[in-house]
Structure 1
Amino acid sequence: MHSYLARQPVLNRDKATVGYELLFRDGPNNCFPDVGDEHATNRLLADNFFTSGAIEATSGKKAFVNFPYTSLIQRTPLMFPKKSFVIEILETCDPSDELLEAVIELNSKGYTLALDDFVPSAEWKRFLPYIHIIKFDIRTVPIAKARFFIRHHKDKTNKILFLAEKVETHDEFTEACEAGFDLFQGFFFSKPELLQRKTLTPYALTTLRLYKEITLSDVDFGTIESIIATDVSLSYKLLRHVNNLTYTRAKPISSFKQALVYLGEERLRRFVTFVATAHATEKKPQSLYSLSLQRAHFCERLSNLARTDIIGNQAFLTGLFSLLDSLLDQPIEEVITLLPLDKQVQQALVHQTGPLGLILKLITAYDKAQWEAVSLLSKQLQINESDVAELYLESLKWSSYFEHTATD
């Protein structure tokens, strides 16, 4: 049986990832929320918290998990370590005396509780002393209205954190910050921070030069070595990372040339990809780095299943470069003209057309738990949905490793 799971990052005001909301689906023909809330929660917990899966799915950070009414009344969260997750009380819950008793007990035992998709009302007021996080869907409750509530409840005696959901642009992120929100959920971090043209930073130029070299059919080891040598931070990351990969060697690798020769051409391409991406995202949200690598692996693995003539390396680059505009704060149309990319890759990145474009659409839909779109695109690519779900979890595990190594 497959676990159908997507995740969405939760970031703080510094855009650092503090956790992930886990979004559940029960199989290829049963999209949540058609599945009962209780069943969805129980499956998610069983599939991801009775094993090491949750650690992989959240990269070791806290999981935000929806708990419906009955699960809370039955004290289901008590079966799991309190440090593992945040209990999200679904908006469909009845604010009854019975629920209040459960919330008070969970609070007293050290669990972190959040009100999901909160809409201010008198019925929930008595719950607030036991709540740690309040989540506002800014599509339902506008930021201006949420600001009024936050100002009346955010003081030294009340330690509630406020989370803005569905933040899709940096303007919304800035407005939410000014309104007093502490945490943010949405894909604003995966879009360019600045829409206007600006000069590429030294970091971005170094990264772009490395990307250009690894996309060539013949890798020039000397050119890559010279690029790396001009950047102290990148030099350190590369040597640190290659020695992590070769820790069994009696003598550490201490020169760039030695490291490049050891890796060989294909491994060098991947190696430079990992570390250059980490380098480019040094001043970006960690989620951007993780998502870039996850998409690269996910795209490559899906291309192996799709009944097309896609080359795996082209698919890998498509996934990786799908966030290149955000990495470099440049329009994607301009950035790709600086790289010798295959025409299919260019069309996928700019217009999301062609087989690679369909795969990229599928990946984006899965990231956002848009299950109907996932189902439709899987059919178009003639890929079994259970395989898509399995490869998604595999890509999380794969990218998590590099998130903990290449960024050290």
Structure 2
Amino acid sequence: MHSYLARQPILNKDKVTVGYELLFRDGPNNCFPDVEDELATNRLLINNFFTSGSSQVTAGKKAFVNFPESSLLQRTPLLFPKQSFVIEILESCTPSDALLEAVIELHKKGYTLALDDFVPSKDWLRFLPFIHIIKFDIRAIPIDRARFFIQRYKKNNIKFLAEKVETYAEFIEASDAGFDFFQGFFFSKPEMIQSRSLTPSALTTMQLYQEICLPQVNFDKVEKIIATDVSLSYKLLRHVNTITSSKSKPISSFKQALVYLGEEKLRRFISFVAASHALAEKPQSLYSLSLQRANFCERLSVLVTPKIVSNQAFLTGLFSLLDSLLDQSIEELIEQLPLSAGIQAALVSKTGPLGIMLKLAIAYDQADWDKVSLYSKELGIDETNVAEVYVESLKWSAIIEKSSATK
């Protein structure tokens, strides 16, 4: 039996990823009776937390998991490690005596509890002493209205999370209103589009990207580019010596390191390191999402008929957030890269097979299952296969994110 799983990052005021909400459905349709909601939650927990005690798709960070009322009343969370996830009490739950009793028990046993899509009501006030996080959907509850509630209950040691933050301006407004955490796609859009030259490290990134886009990598050119940047040079040598730790003699020259990596691994190294190196103040989630999309598109490319060149698919996913990483329009940026017409069309207008693949990746990120179904059909791919590919790409990017955080 297969599942549909998407994740959405949760960031703090410094735009550091503190967790992911896991969004689960058992099929392409987004409507189920209560029993199916409970089954979906149980399967998500079993698949991600039961055996290892930590989620395989969140890079070791907290997972925010939706719990229907029946699961809470049955104390389902008690079966799983309390440190691994945050219990989201769905807005559809009834604030009954029975639910309050379950919440108090979970609170006493050390679980972290959140009220999802909270609408202020006197019926929920008695729950607040046992709640750690309150989530406001700022599309339903305007930031100004939420501000008053936050000011009143901030002293209760409750943290507040703004959902559906879609622009950088909304992020700033919500932060000023007292929100502690933020969820939405503001981080995947440019903070500003500016007519300015790239910073030195961003320029180095673009130059490296130019080289990995070519059919054959010129190692001499790559060596010269990396040698101009001390930080990137250090990362290259450290990375290569880490993966060659069994060798008796360490690798000490850039050329030696590049040749050892070879073309494929060099492309991967540049993809892993260059974007995060270019603008360190960008959220890790943005960097991780670009890598996850690259891997997702690459895996999908072999399932499409006619097949898409995997490297073209990888670059499409990788560069889908380049405008946000470098704060320039995608049209300006792709002029500096030797990309094929197919990749350019996908990035600018999301047309062609690569464009549909990119739209499918975005739909999955947003858990828009209707669009997932539509784009899967357009590509001629079974949705079950797409679901499997997406989960594998999440696991892959989580491994990269976790390893980069420890270096």
The alignment's TM-score, normalised by the length of structure 1, stands at 0.96
Aligned residue for 1:253, secondary structure, equals: coil
Distance in 2 of aligned mates of 1:197 and 1:51: 51
Distance in 1 of aligned mates of 2:2 and 2:85: 22
Contact 1:241 1:405 in 2 (8 A): no
Look up the equivalent residue of 2:78 and give its one-letter code: L
In the TM superposition, what is the alpha-carbon distance from 1:309 to its structure 2 partner?
4.3
> What does 1:269-308 align with in structure 2 at a 5 Å threshold?
269-308=267-306
Distance in 2 of aligned mates of 1:231 and 1:337: 23
Aligned residue for 1:56, secondary structure, equals: coil
Q: Which moved more, 1:203-212 or 1:188-197?
A: 188-197
Deviation readout 1:143-198 (Å, 9 max, x if unpaired): 1111111111112xx11000000111101101100111000001111111113333
Aligned to 2:114: 114
Deviation readout 1:176-224 (Å, 9 max, x if unpaired): 0011100000111111111333331112111001001111222111111
In the TM superposition, what is the alpha-carbon distance from 1:336 to its structure 2 partner?
0.4
Aligned to 1:220: 218
Aligned residue for 2:245, secondary structure, equals: coil
Give RMSD over aligned pairs: 1.5
Task: Mark the CA change 1:12 to 1:93 in structure 2 (over 3 Å): closer, same or farther.
Answer: same
> What does 1:63-74 align with in structure 2 at a 5 Å threshold?
63-74=63-74
Distance in 1 of aligned mates of 2:320 and 2:396: 18
Aligned to 2:245: 247
Aligned to 2:166: 168
Contact 1:278 1:406 in 2 (8 A): no
Q: Which moved more, 1:195-204 or 1:66-75?
A: 195-204
Aligned to 2:400: 402
What is the percent sequence identity of the aligned residues? Answer: 70
In the TM superposition, what is the alpha-carbon distance from 1:362 to its structure 2 partner?
0.2
Aligned to 2:24: 24
In the TM superposition, what is the alpha-carbon distance from 1:307 to its structure 2 partner?
1.0
Aligned to 2:56: 56
In the TM superposition, what is the alpha-carbon distance from 1:54 to its structure 2 partner?
5.0
Distance in 1 of aligned mates of 2:56 and 2:339: 32
Distance in 2 of aligned mates of 1:75 and 1:199: 56
Q: Which moved more, 1:398-407 or 1:75-84?
A: 398-407
Mark the runs of 5 or more structure 2 residues left unpaired by the alignment. Answer: none
Contact 1:281 1:289 in 2 (8 A): no
Task: Mark the CA change 1:281 to 1:34 in structure 2 (over 3 Å): closer, same or farther.
Answer: farther
Aligned to 1:141: 141
Aligned residue for 1:283, secondary structure, equals: coil
Contact 1:26 1:32 in 2 (8 A): no
Distance in 2 of aligned mates of 1:84 and 1:32: 27
2:386 to 385, 388, 395: 388
Deviation readout 1:346-394 (Å, 9 max, x if unpaired): 0000000000000000000000100010011101101011111111111
Deviation readout 1:69-100 (Å, 9 max, x if unpaired): 11111111111111000000000111011111
Distance in 1 of aligned mates of 2:233 and 2:394: 27
Distance in 1 of aligned mates of 2:122 and 2:313: 52
Q: How many residues align?
A: 405
The alignment's TM-score, normalised by the length of structure 2, stands at 0.96
Does residue 123 of the first structure (1) align with residue 113 of the second (2)? no
Contact 2:53 2:84 in 1 (8 A): no
Distance in 1 of aligned mates of 2:165 and 2:110: 29
Mark the runs of 5 or more structure 1 residues left unpaired by the alignment. Answer: none
